[in-house]
Amino acid sequence: MRQAGRYLPEYREIRKLHTFLEMCHTPEVVAEVTLQPVRRFDLDAAIVFSDILVFLPALGLPVEFPEGGPKVSRPIGAPEDVERLGSLDPGRHIPEIYDAVSLCVERLDGSHPLFGFCGAPFTLACYAIEGQGSKEFARARAFLLRHERAGHQLLDKLAESAAAHLVAQVKAGATAVQVFDTWAGLLGRRDFDEFSRPYLERIVTAVKPLGVPVFVFARGVPAAWQAGLGAHVHSLDWRADLAESRRVLAPAGLQGNLDPVLLASSKLRAVATATAMCEEMRDTQAYVFNLGHGVLPETPVENVAAVIDAVHAVKLARRAA
């Protein structure tokens, strides 16, 4: 999940000097912000600082990031609007994004693997149609149900561009990737199988030949529905039951899923829960401890440090045993 962010004072310092978009498009800033969490904490990997919507402008969907969250200024309103969308040519449209990835790799200098990431087509379509964040993305889901053909054409174009974006990040040096389907949990099973799953599979298939581990985060989607997607690792939000997910998703690995609200609200309880999670997953080969979503801005830095220490302590105790 995103590591850098407003909970870090050193991030807030840089954030004061730039707009969010400026940050994403300036390699020097991306590298600095990406490295902040790995400098401060004993983390096992870094994740590039960026945003899932960063390539939408290249398709003809300009995006801004005012205070209340992202806004797509000319969202998809009618089936015809899908026709006018272009596709991403990574090196031509947003070379600075991949330069930023390369700079992160250079600065990390082999100390940590680096995750690249992209948004999943369904989640990108949510923003492309709704034009902004929403509790239930009812307009976006209605568009897909009402305009089946245009809906699939849109998902298709987004899948092609998202895959190209991910491949370009790997070529720039990213050593692992994650696909974020943040809003797939709004879908019932039929709709997940129609509007999300095939497009996730397409991205996984496009990236796997590059030989990097592929993580999929289908937030709020029951683990059983995700089985067979082809991902190496499934990231789980805080509502998923780890043991049950392991049962249905093995041999794929699992990542997650401490509740970010717990991390923000109680150091003691967060440490206890993180320790219990690691113990529960001790016999699972591929388990990556993480949060179940991004770090909340109000999270005390000391809570983050305490949980990371607790996770490493379990690991050390196990080696010693």
In the complex, what is the shortest distance from the CB of residue 142 to a copy of itself, in angstroms, rounded to a whole number?
A: 4
Rounded Cα distance, 77 and 159, in Å: 19
Q: Tell me the closest approach of the beta carbon of residue 196 to a copy of itself, in angstroms.
A: 12
CB of 238 to a copy of itself, least distance (A): 5
> What is the smallest separation between the CB atom of 248 and a copy of itself, expressed in angstroms?
11
Six-digit token string for 116: 């690249």
Where in the sequence numbering do the catalytic residues fall?
A: 2, 6, 15, 51, 127
Amino acid (1-letter code) at residue 82? V
Nearer to a copy of itself, 88 or 258 (CB): 258
Residues contributing to the site for a copy of itself (CB under 8 A): 135-136, 138, 141-143, 145-146, 185-191, 220, 222, 224, 238-241, 244, 257, 259-262, 264-266, 269, 273, 292, 296
Helices (DSSP H) in the chain: which residue ranges?
Answer: 9-17, 20-24, 27-40, 56-59, 79-83, 90-93, 95-108, 121-130, 138-146, 148-171, 189-191, 197-207, 223-226, 242-249, 260-265, 267-280, 301-320
| Residue 46 or 186 with smaller CB distance to a copy of itself | 186
Give 235 or 257: the residue with its C-beta nearer to a copy of itself. Answer: 257
Residue (12 or 269) nearer to a copy of itself, CB: 269
Find tokens 């043991």 and name the residue: 243
Q: Which is nearer to a copy of itself, 170 or 304 (CB)?
A: 304
> Which whole-number Å values give the CA distances from 124 to 92, 185, 196, 288, in the listed order?
21, 14, 11, 26
One-letter identity of residue 182: T
Minimum distance of a copy of itself from residue 103's CB (angstroms): 34
Tokens (6 digits) for 85: 């969308």
* Nearest Cα to Cα of residue 2 among 304, 204, 315: 304
Q: Which amino acid is at 14?
A: I
Beta bridge partners of 196: none
